[in-house]
Amino acid sequence: MAIEQTLSIIKPDAVAKNLIGEIYSRFEKNQLHIIATKMLRLTREQAEEFYAVHAGRSFYSKLTNFMSSGPIIVQVLEGEDAISRHRAIMGATCPKDAAPGTIRRDLAFDPSNPECHDNAVHGSDSTENAQKEIDFFFRPDEIFPRTG
C-alpha cells in the first residue's frame, strides 16, 4: 500500500450544520491524517474553475452556486491508500444512494431532498486530480506531511 495525499472539502451544507468536528473525527478514526487545513468562501468563478471538468453537466450551475453559497473547510488528508479510503468513508455521490455508515448517508441524507450537490463532502478521485486539487487550495509551505 502506498502513502497518498488527497484533497477533501467540507461543503457549505455540512459547515452550516456544525458537522466539521464530526467529519474530522471520522477522518482521524480512519487513520487519515489532516496535514493542511483552512476555511474559506469560494467565489462563483472559483467554484466554476474547481469543477470545470463538470462544465456542461445538468447539475453544474446548481453545484457551483451551492459551492459558493457559504464557507467551506478544505484539507489535505494523508495516509495509506488515502484517495480510495477517503472515498469509501464519504460514500456514493448522492446521499440517497450512499450506504449507512458513510458520511454522505449519515450526515447529508434528507428524504425530502432528491438533489445530489449538497452532499456534505468532496474528495479527489485519482492521484492526478488529488495533486491538481491540492495545488488549487494550498501552497507547499502550508502542508505538513506526518506519515512515512
The strand order across the sheet containing 121-123 reads 33-40, 72-80, 3-10, 121-123
Q: Catalytic: 122?
A: yes
Residue labelled with grid coordinates 505538513: 144
Question: Around 126, how many Cα atoms within 13 Å sit in the side-chain half-sphere?
Answer: 3
The residues, ordered by sequence, that sit 6+ positions from 108 with a Cβ below 8 Å of its Cβ are 13, 14, 95, 98, 118, 119, 120, 121
Q: What are phi and psi of 110, to 5 degrees?
A: -135, 110
Decide: is 93 part of the binding site for ligand CMP (CB under 6 A). yes
Binding track over 94-133 against ligand CMP, x by CB under 6 A: ----------------------xx-x--x-----------
**68 vs 119, which CB is nearer to ligand CMP?**
119
Please identify which of the residues 33, 86, 117, 122 carries the catalytic annotation: 122
- 43, 59, 136, 144: which one binds ligand CMP (CB under 6 A): 59
Decide: is 26 part of the binding site for ligand CMP (CB under 6 A). no
Q: Which residues are catalytic?
A: 122
Give me the residues that bind ligand CMP (CB under 6 A), please: 54, 59, 63, 93, 116-117, 119, 122
